[in-house]
Amino acid sequence: MKLTFYGAAQQVTGSMFMLELADGYQMLIDCGLSYERKQNLKDNANFTFDPETIDLVIITHAHIDHSGNLPTLIKYGFSGQVLCTMPTMYLMEQLLFDSAGIQAGKLKKGHKQNDERKLFGYKEVQKTIERVVTISFNQPFEIKNGLSVTFTEAGHILGAASVVIEVAEQNKSCRIGFTGDLGTDNNCLIVPPNPMKNLDYMVMESTYGSRFHKDMESAEDILLKHIKASCVDKPGRLIIPAFSIGRTQAILFTLNKLFRSGRLPKIRIFADSPLAMSSSAIHDKFIEYLNTEAKAFFTEYHTLFDFKQVYAIEDREEKEELNLTGSHLESMIIVSSAGMMDGGRIQEHIKNNIQNTLCTVLVAGFCTPGSLGYDLMQGKSTVAINKRELSVYARITSTDTFSAHPDQTGLLSYFGKVKKAGHLKKVFLVHGEAESIEIFKDKITETGFENVVVPKRAEYFFLD
């Protein structure tokens, strides 16, 4: 069979791999949007294969860089089924409709080129969701004679799966595993990763292949330390940019734990992201997919993210009121999307507060070079927001305690477990910047495993 790397090859986003069997059956594993620097959204429509010939798509998890190009694939002729877990289907539905809404919004402003930037609309998203077939974890699912797929828990976000594909052809059987994005062993909400077994080949993410998580205390202790330093020991605003799926829930759950244990200072917390709020409701619906601690917490308090001091901002008036509240002197915490600060409601909060010396911005996730979050992390003295150049007077700080990806140590540990539980012939490293992948490749070879490949975009390999 033939494995081709159509995306996430020597880059972080745009996850898309094709597996083609000897009889011509074609599967895509993930169909994500690529949003690398200097890339036009519209480039995502340039599939270098014919979408009509794809028989099946398997989605590892809902994040837009893994699922966000599915409606485009359908627009250009894909008519097969889409396999994923049940929570992924619900989260994907939210994210894809949100993405279509953003594209439609851009059009309304009447810029001439905007139509060119539109990839898909609500109609294609609806069609995408109608194609979904959900399958459970750890239950082999037979797609056709000689071809089955099994999901194992990836531990990255709610419903995230690693995918094992077993192919029997020409009197031989072969197992290929795709990690998707992995999580850490100590995620505060999600079950830890369950390593894939009996693999011949593994396509492995290496986003943090050259990095080490530094924050070793508990998430509660770290968050409390930041809260005290930014808005308890002195008046101030703590703004936490967070992805609407995964990161926002981890932060609100940690704040809720602090509240229930009586450790949360008496300040108001504003959650300003409608998408994050609907994604929180999906977490409440799928408690059985969460870890033991989160399940026990839910049994005791009947809620994961809702508590007295937290206010969800529903409409524009509430937001305007928030911007005026206390002339910037009332201590408060604002959690808003998106994590890299390049879009969504967070931009407005940053714009309104970046020149406020009493404000702290706590960056809690990965920011790609070129994003506003990255510029702030680099300590730039001015940043451009909505074409306005603004001086940075707010304090910028960061934590990696809420990271949804393992660091180098975690990735090596995962690799070690898969190697031990199988007969690996080759590992392909994807999802990472080129330099970071090379460092991680060296780390794997140091363990005595030589057959590590860093594929280029559109490069293909024959597996047996």
> In the window 398-427, what residues touch Zn ion (CB under 5 A)?
none
Measured CA to CA, the distance from residue 59 to residue 92 in angstroms comes to 10
Report the nearest approach of Zn ion to the CB of residue 160 (Å). 7
Closer by beta carbon to Zn ion, 88 or else 280: 88
In sequence order, what E strands does 172-331 have?
172-178, 201-205, 237-241, 268-272, 310-312
Closer by beta carbon to Zn ion, 51 or else 180: 180
Closer by beta carbon to Zn ion, 63 or else 443: 63
Report the nearest approach of Zn ion to the CB of residue 109 (Å). 29
Report the nearest approach of Zn ion to the CB of residue 181 (Å). 4
By CB under 5 A, name the one of 30, 166, 181, 375 that touches Zn ion: 181
Does the CA dihedral 348-349-350-356 come out positive or negative? positive
Under rule CB under 5 A, how many of the chain's residues touch Zn ion? Answer: 2
Contact 422, 198 (CB under 8 A): yes
Which DSSP string corresponds to 354-366?
A: TT-TTEEEEE-S-
- How buried is 461 (Cβ within 10 angstroms: 0-12 exposed, 13-18 middle, 19+ buried)? middle
> In the window 51-70, what residues touch Zn ion (CB under 5 A)?
63
Helix (H, G, I), strand (E, B) or coil at 158: coil
Torsion of CA 32, 33, 34, 40, to 10 degrees: 160
Does the CA dihedral 203-292-277-286 come out positive or negative? positive
Q: Pattern 308-327, binding to Zn ion, x per CB under 5 A? A: --------------------
Taking contact as CB under 5 A, which single stretch among the options 104-112, 181-189, 393-401, 413-421 is the one that binds Zn ion?
A: 181-189
DSSP category for residue 408 = H
Measured CA to CA, the distance from residue 69 to residue 57 in angstroms comes to 11
Q: Pattern 12-51, binding to Zn ion, x per CB under 5 A? A: ----------------------------------------
Helix (H, G, I), strand (E, B) or coil at 396: strand
* Token representation of residue 357: 């010396």
Reference 237, options 306, 336, 343; nearest CA is: 336
Taking contact as CB under 5 A, which single stretch among the options 178-186, 236-244, 333-341, 395-403 is the one that binds Zn ion?
A: 178-186
Ordered alpha helix ranges (H), 169-237: 219-231
Taking contact as CB under 5 A, which single stretch among the options 110-118, 179-187, 407-415, 420-428 is the one that binds Zn ion?
A: 179-187
Report the nearest approach of Zn ion to the CB of residue 184 (Å). 13
Report the nearest approach of Zn ion to the CB of residue 258 (Å). 26
Report the nearest approach of Zn ion to the CB of residue 446 (Å). 27
Taking contact as CB under 5 A, which single stretch among the options 174-182, 326-334, 341-349, 410-418 is the one that binds Zn ion?
A: 174-182
Taking contact as CB under 5 A, which single stretch among the options 52-60, 175-183, 332-340, 425-433 is the one that binds Zn ion?
A: 175-183
> In the window 91-120, what residues touch Zn ion (CB under 5 A)?
none
Angle at which helix 316-324 crosses helix 346-353, to 10 degrees, equals 20
Report the nearest approach of Zn ion to the CB of residue 61 (Å). 6
Report the nearest approach of Zn ion to the CB of residue 207 (Å). 9
Report the nearest approach of Zn ion to the CB of residue 245 (Å). 9
Q: Enumerate residues 6+ apart whose C-beta is below 8 A from 377.
A: 363, 367, 396, 398
Closer by beta carbon to Zn ion, 55 or else 400: 400
Report the nearest approach of Zn ion to the CB of residue 98 (Å). 16
Instruction: Identify any residues that bridge with 334 across adjacent strands, giving them in sequence order.
Output: 239, 270
Closer by beta carbon to Zn ion, 291 or else 397: 291
How open is the CA angle 193-196-198, to the nearest 5 degrees?
160
Measured CA to CA, the distance from residue 89 to residue 132 in angstroms comes to 7
Q: Pattern 122-161, binding to Zn ion, x per CB under 5 A? A: ----------------------------------------
Q: Which residues bind Zn ion (CB under 5 A)?
A: 63, 181
